[in-house]
Every structure is written in structure tokens, then in C-alpha cells.
Structure 1
Amino acid sequence: MKSILIIGIGAFGRHLTEKMVDLKNDVMIVDRNETIIDDMSTIVTDAHIGDCTKEEVLRSLGVSNFDICFVTIGDNFQSSLEITSLLKELGAKYVISKASRDIQAKFLLRNGADEVIYPDKDMAKKLAIRCSAENVFDFIEITPEYSIFEIPIMKSWIGSSLQGIDVRKKYHINILTIKNGNNIMAVPKADYIFKEKDIIIVLGKSNDVIRLANQI
């Protein structure tokens, strides 16, 4: 369990808050909109109405006591930049700020953000990949080039061993886990025999995995 401060409760901030609470974290939220704070106050540990561009407001929150401070203001980049800078000046341990463009990310990182997120850009990219590729259940981007994908196996693999198919050489992927119903095998051995309804979690270049998925 971590202590979380979330500043700016728009659509993204609201979803982030709800998920952080679901994961049993201690969450404090801050927003200038009284209606939003009243609406969310029942599910969080603490909630405050305030303008976090003012140093005295941030200082009163004790920002250095939080494990992570999120700045999720979406409609006023100047405020986001000011708050990010103030958080670090006041001793915030780790600041994650929301950006919508690369130029915003550069300024946020220069002014104290430890990490910058692009929720709209990331969602658009994830949706594009999922809709462009057949048979992709889920994926996580590790770098712009490499991702982890969850995909079914090819029917031609059934009854063959992992070593016999030689997926690393033929498809340029690494199989991390094999799932079949409630059975999960992490780091499968080379002599594993593929079964019907096997699902694999693989690491590889996104283009290579998508190419494989489209053949299934």
C-alpha cells in the first residue's frame, strides 16, 4: 500500500483515483472544483479544495509524505508546470505529470517531473495496435520497439514441442508464460508440448508479434 496524492480530478484523474483506491492505496485528492471534491470524497482517504499553483496550499498538504504525487491537470499546462516545479521544491519524492504533447513532456521533465505520462497518446496507440492486429488479447509496451503480448498459439503448433517449433529463431519472439485455463506455466521448458487452447505471453518486437498474430 502506498500514499498517493492526485492533483487535478478530471476524467483521467477520476479514473486514476478510483483504481488507486481499488488497489488499497491511501489516496488524497485535490481540485479547485468543490462539486468534484464532494463527489469523490467518500471513496478516498482525504480530499481538499484548493489551488495547487499556490505554494501555501501545497505546503499545507505535506507533499513530502507521499510516495507518489500525480499532476493530472489536462486543460491548463501552465498550472501543471507550476505545480510540478513546486512539488519538487517542497520535497516531493516522486512526481508523475500528465502531458498531451512531446514539448510539454520536455518542459515538465526539466522542471521537476520524475516521469511523464501520455494517457491519450498511449490509449490511441494501444487501440491502434489492438484493432490492427488479429488475435491480440492484451499487450504492454516496454519500449517504443518492444512489447509483451498475450496471444493464442497457432493451430499447427498443437502437439509440437517448444524446442521443435523454435519460436525464437522462426518468429523472433520469447515465450514468457503459457496459459491454459487455470493452469499457468512461467518460463516453459524446451520440451513443453503445446496443447489446444494454449495462450502464450510473449516478448518481442511489436511488428514481429503482430505479424505472427495475424497468421493465427
Structure 2
Amino acid sequence: MQKKKIAVIGIGSFGKLLARYLFAEGHEVLAIDKKEDVIQEIKDHCTVAVTLDATDESALRSQGIEDLDIVVLAIADDFETSTICADLLKKMGAKNIYARYQTDLQIRIFHLLGIKNIFNPEEQAARSMAEILGFSGMKANFLLSDEYSVSEVVVPKRYINKTVGEIDLRQKYEINIITIKRPIQEKDKKRSSDSTHGRILGIPEGDMILKENDTLVIFASQKNINRFLEG
């Protein structure tokens, strides 16, 4: 994985988690918020934590924002600050701006500012949870877009003891199998990194046999994933 330089502006509940996860994945993370107490909480979980006003152009420029790979506007409750900051970021030539929205009007405003990468974490989480709850075989669902998802799905009983080649999900459902997770018995654990969640089996070959309790990690449109789960 290529390590990136990423700024997270707005360290609320979502911004804090995002900064911590990105930092844990090895990225260089610049956390920005106007509240000193918030910055004190995040400083040990990111590369640099700075207290500043995101509507202050000179303050933003002092952080070399335009040289970063990605800037995430994670501010939730102050859209005026978000729009001013977004406008400044475009003016400064920031690359790959991702902006958080809450309403359709905010979407239109961001688009007018020339920002195409927009997200709503609450909406995405709700949609993912709805998919998980709607199908008993689905363990996790990560929405990449309105159409496509990466999902973790327990191997349906009809496919147990069959090979990846035999079930041919790509031909039948236009589904790509990314990898397979297999449960680990305690006696089989050899490293502390081995997890009870399962061993990753790598890129599956056509002759790999699917076993009971295997989990398929798949990529496809949500429509085709639903077709597959419905049988």
C-alpha cells in the first residue's frame, strides 16, 4: 500500500476515528481543528496535530496543504466553515479534496465550488447496516459508490465443498472474489497476528475448495450481490 499524506480538517467523532485509522495504516496524517482540547486528544494518534481556524488562508498555507495527497473536510455542524475552507482549498490548489455533506443543498454548493468527492458517513453506515441486517449471510458491507460494494459473505451452503472454479461467480453473477477468510482453530495459531476472525487465504485459484464457515470477500454491484445472496 502506498503511504499518503492526508489532512483531516474537523476532528469531531468521525474525523477523530478517520485520523486514527489512517495513522494506524501508516499514512502521514495532519489533524486540524480550532479547539485546543480536541487537538490534545488526537495528537498522539496522528503525525501532526494543529489548532487553527480553517477559514484562515494564511494559517492553512502554513501547513503546506497544497503539497498533501488528500484533504478531508470532515466538519459536520458548521457548513459555513466548510464552504469557506473548501473555497480556500481550491484557491490554494489542494489535491483530492473530500468534503462531508448532510443535505442535498450542500451537495449542490460543493459541486459549484468544484468539489466532486463528497461523502456522508452516516448515510453510508446506515446503508451498509441495512444490507447486513437484510441478508443473514452478509457479515460486512463497504460501499465504494452508490452502485459498487466490497462485502464479506459467508459461503452459502449450496457452495460448500465446491471449488472456486465450479461456482464461477464471475460468470453467473458478475462477482469478483478478492480473497477468502477461513476460521482459525486455537491449536492452529502460530503468530499473534493470526486472528480468530480468520486467516486470509490470498488470491483464490480456481481449484480452491470452499469449506463450511469460509467467508468470501467479494467485489460487485450491490444489485448482483443481492442476487447472489438471494440464491
TM-score, L = length of structure 1: 0.84
Q: How does 1:193-208 map to 2 (within 5 A)?
A: 193-208=209-224
What do the CA deviations read for 1:170-192 (whole angstroms, capped 9, x no partner)?
55544443443436152432x54
Label 1:193 to 1:24 Cα distance change in 2 as closer, same or farther (>3 A): closer
CA distance in 2, matches of 1:55, 1:193: 58
CA distance in 1, matches of 2:172, 2:43: 54
CA distance in 2, matches of 1:136, 1:76: 36
Q: Given that residues 87 and 113 in structure 2 are in contact (C-alpha distance below 8 angstroms), is that contact kept between their aligned partners in structure 1?
A: yes
Label 1:9 to 1:211 Cα distance change in 2 as closer, same or farther (>3 A): same
Q: Given that residues 6 and 30 in structure 1 are in contact (C-alpha distance below 8 angstroms), is that contact kept between their aligned partners in structure 2?
A: yes
Counterpart pick for 1:119 among 94, 118, 121: 121
Match of 1:89 in 2: 91
Label 1:114 to 1:199 Cα distance change in 2 as closer, same or farther (>3 A): same
Counterpart pick for 1:107 among 91, 106, 109: 109
CA distance in 1, matches of 2:210, 2:43: 50
3-state SS in 1 of match to 2:87: helix
Are 2:203 and 1:186 equivalent residues in the alignment?
Answer: yes
CA distance in 1, matches of 2:70, 2:86: 12
CA distance in 2, matches of 1:10, 1:77: 14
Match of 1:18 in 2: 20
Moved more, 2-11 or 136-145: 136-145
Runs (5+) with no aligned partner, structure 1: none
Aligned length: 214
CA distance in 1, matches of 2:14, 2:154: 32
Q: Given that residues 155 and 216 in structure 2 are in contact (C-alpha distance below 8 angstroms), is that contact kept between their aligned partners in structure 1?
A: yes
3-state SS in 2 of match to 1:74: coil
What do the CA deviations read for 1:73-101 (whole angstroms, capped 9, x no partner)?
11111210110110121121221111112
3-state SS in 2 of match to 1:61: coil
1:134 is displaced (CA, Å) by: 0.8
Are 2:67 and 1:65 equivalent residues in the alignment?
Answer: yes
Q: How does 1:155-166 map to 2 (within 5 A)?
A: 155-166=157-168
Q: Given that residues 179 and 200 in structure 2 are in contact (C-alpha distance below 8 angstroms), is that contact kept between their aligned partners in structure 1?
A: no
- Percent identity reads 29
CA distance in 2, matches of 1:43, 1:204: 34
Q: Given that residues 8 and 74 in structure 2 are in contact (C-alpha distance below 8 angstroms), is that contact kept between their aligned partners in structure 1?
A: yes
Q: Given that residues 177 and 188 in structure 1 are in contact (C-alpha distance below 8 angstroms), is that contact kept between their aligned partners in structure 2?
A: no
Runs (5+) with no aligned partner, structure 2: 184-198
Q: Given that residues 37 and 47 in structure 1 are in contact (C-alpha distance below 8 angstroms), is that contact kept between their aligned partners in structure 2?
A: yes
Label 1:91 to 1:162 Cα distance change in 2 as closer, same or farther (>3 A): closer
Q: Given that residues 73 and 100 in structure 2 are in contact (C-alpha distance below 8 angstroms), is that contact kept between their aligned partners in structure 1?
A: yes
What do the CA deviations read for 1:65-122 (whole angstroms, capped 9, x no partner)?
2221121111111210110110121121221111112331232133143511111111
Instruction: Give RMSD over aligned pairs.
Output: 2.5
Match of 1:150 in 2: 152
3-state SS in 2 of match to 1:42: helix
CA distance in 2, matches of 1:168, 1:61: 46
Q: Given that residues 5 and 69 in structure 2 are in contact (C-alpha distance below 8 angstroms), is that contact kept between their aligned partners in structure 1?
A: yes
Q: Given that residues 9 and 32 in structure 2 are in contact (C-alpha distance below 8 angstroms), is that contact kept between their aligned partners in structure 1?
A: yes
CA distance in 1, matches of 2:114, 2:76: 18
Q: Given that residues 85 and 113 in structure 1 are in contact (C-alpha distance below 8 angstroms), is that contact kept between their aligned partners in structure 2?
A: no
1:125 is displaced (CA, Å) by: 0.8
Q: Given that residues 164 and 204 in structure 2 are in contact (C-alpha distance below 8 angstroms), is that contact kept between their aligned partners in structure 1?
A: no
